[in-house]
Structure 1
Amino acid sequence: MLSCQWKEMGMECLGCGFQRSVVLVLKGDFQHAFLLYPAIYTLFLMMIFLGLHLRFNFSKGHSILKWLFILNIVIIVVNYILKLI
């Protein structure tokens, strides 16, 4: 796995846990993956929808992607704040 420069300095970053969470999803440990990085499934959903939108050019695809992006940012930031507390 890639090392995190923030983690080496003893600090958490907004992406801490993402790589380990992806590995856990690939191993089938879905609950632990979510607990480690709560945005993992909404990020997967957004990436899948982005691929479909690029292929099929949905009429409201850009709007759906915008809201999925906002949802992911909110989940990531809230999770980061909760880790700091």
Structure 2
Amino acid sequence: MEEYMLPCLNKKLFGWDCFGCGIQRSLALIIKGEFAEAFVMYPAIYTLILLLGLIVFNAFMNLKFGHKLISILAILNAIIIVTNFIYKTFIIH
């Protein structure tokens, strides 16, 4: 499955990770059942899956507080993604 993954254009052109680097590999690790490794690869993976599920569920069920929950999860995801990007870009390297 890894041989069919799309390369990161940002990493190819500029040599550094983008905000989404690791998400495909993280999903592949989840499919393999390697849940902790998936989190290490891309920490926002589980909250993104939850957000996507909530968006789909809200589209069909129209939850009372659906939009508020989606907004909170979206902000949480943005914080996790930006924090991970900063950590990978400036702390590790």
With normalisation by structure 2, the TM-score equals 0.89
4+ residue segments displaced more than 3 Å: none
Give the number of aligned pairs: 85
One-letter amino acid of the counterpart of residue 56, structure 2: G
Say which structure, 1 or 2, has more relative contact order (CA 8 Å, 6+ apart): 1
Deviation at 1:84, TM superposition (A): 1.2
Assess if the C-alpha contact under 8 Å between 2:16 and 2:89 holds in 1: no
Report percent identity of matched pairs.
Answer: 46
One-letter amino acid of the counterpart of residue 8, structure 2: C
Hey, what does 2:60 align to over in structure 1? 55
Once superposed, what is the RMSD of the aligned Cα atoms?
Answer: 0.6
Structure 1 stretches of 5 or more lacking a match?
A: none
Deviation at 1:14, TM superposition (A): 0.3
Q: Is residue 2:61 matched to residue 1:77?
A: no
CA distance in 2, matches of 1:12, 1:56: 37
With normalisation by structure 1, the TM-score equals 0.97
Q: How does 1:1-85 map to 2 (within 5 A)?
A: 1-9=5-13, 10-85=15-90
